[in-house]
Amino acid sequence: MRKYIYIFKSEIMTNLQYIFDILVGFISYCIMIFIFLNLWKYIYSDPSELINGYNMNQMIWYIIVTELLWMSLGGRKLCKKISNDVRSGNIAYNINKPYNYVGYILFSHMGLFIIKFSFLAILGIVLGLLFLGSFPNISIISIILVLVSCLFATIINILLITTIAMLSFFIEDANPFFWLYSKVILILGTIFPIEFFPMFLQPVFKYSPIYVVSYGPSKLFVDFKWKSCLEIFIIQFIYILISIVLSNLIYSKGVKKLNVNGG
C-alpha cells in the first residue's frame, strides 16, 4: 500500500507544477454553470416551485456538484492515455513493475482528481453563493459524508473508464466506447436527476453506474437523508468491488493475450 500512496503523492506534486493548465478548466466550468443557471431560472417561474421534488436552488446546486465531479475526473484524458499505452506497447514496461497496473492507474489519476476537485469545488461554491445566495439545508457531518460519497464515485468512475480503455487489448480503439459511456453519464446523470425521467426507467437507473458516480453524491448534497445516504454507500461499495474485479480481469486477460502474441 505504501507504494501506491507514494504514487498518489508524486502525482499531486507533478500536477501542481502545471497548475495553470488546470486553472484553464475554470473557464469551461464557469460556462457550463452559467448556461444551466439561466436554463433553470427560465424553467422555474418561481424559485420556490417544486419540479419533480426539486426547487430551483436544489436543481442548480445539483448541477454544480455533478459538473464538479465530471470535470474534475478528466475521463477522456485517462481513457486516451491507457488506450495509447496498450496500442503502442508502452504498457509492457508496467507489467513487470512491483505494483498492479490497475492500482497504479487508480492512485495516479486520483492525484490529478484531488487537485482539480479542490480548485473547482472552491469555484463552484463561489458561483453558487454568488447566484443563489445560500447553500442547501445541510450540516457539517452531512457535507463530510457527501465528500466521502464523491470519493467513492470517483474511484468507481476511474475503474470503469480503465476497464473500457483496456478493451484496446482486444479491439483497435476503445475511445468510442468511452464516448458512449460519457454521454450516458452526462445526459442521464449530470444534466437531469433520475426523478426527471419516466417512472419505469428510474429503477433501471438506480442500479446503474449513473446512480453511484453522479446522481448519488449530488442528491445527498441537495437533499440529505440518512436512509438515502446508507443506500447510496452500500451500492457504491458493491460497485467498487465489481469494478475492481472487472478491471483486473480485463487487464489479466489482456496481458495473457499480449504474452501469447509475443508482445
Write the pLDDT tens digit of every residue in 216-236.
999 999 999 999 999 999 999
Whether 205 has a pLDDT exceeding 60, the answer reads: yes
What pLDDT is recorded for position 258? 67
Per the structure, the complete domain to which residue 188 belongs is given by 2-260
State yes or no: pLDDT of 203 exceeds 60.
Answer: yes
Q: For the whole model, what pTM was predicted?
A: 0.91
Cell of 36: 444551466
The pLDDT score that the predictor gives to residue 261 is 56
Report d(CA 45, CA 176) in Å as an integer.
39
Tens-digit pLDDT profile for residues 13-53? 877 777 676 777 778 888 888 888 888 888 887 777 888 88
Q: 103-127 pLDDT, tens per residue?
A: 889 998 998 899 889 888 998 899 8
Phi, psi of 54 (to 5 degrees): -115, 130
SS3 248: helix
Judged by average pLDDT, the poorest of 44-48, 52-56, 247-251 is 44-48
Asked if the model's pLDDT at residue 152 lies above 90, the reply is: yes
Instruction: Please count the structural domains in the chain.
Output: 1
User: Which residue's entry shows cell 492500482?
Assistant: 103
Residue appearing with cell numbers 458512449 = 180
The predicted structure's pLDDT at residue 137: 84
Output the pLDDT for position 9: 84
Compute the distance between CA of residue 9 and CA of residue 111 in angstroms, rounded to an integer. 7
Hey, what's the cell of 64?
454544480
Mean pLDDT score of the chain, rounded to an integer? 86
Res 133: pLDDT: 82
- Residue pair 136/223 in contact (Cβ under 8 Å)? The answer is yes
- Residues 44 and 56: beta-carbon distance below 8 Å: yes
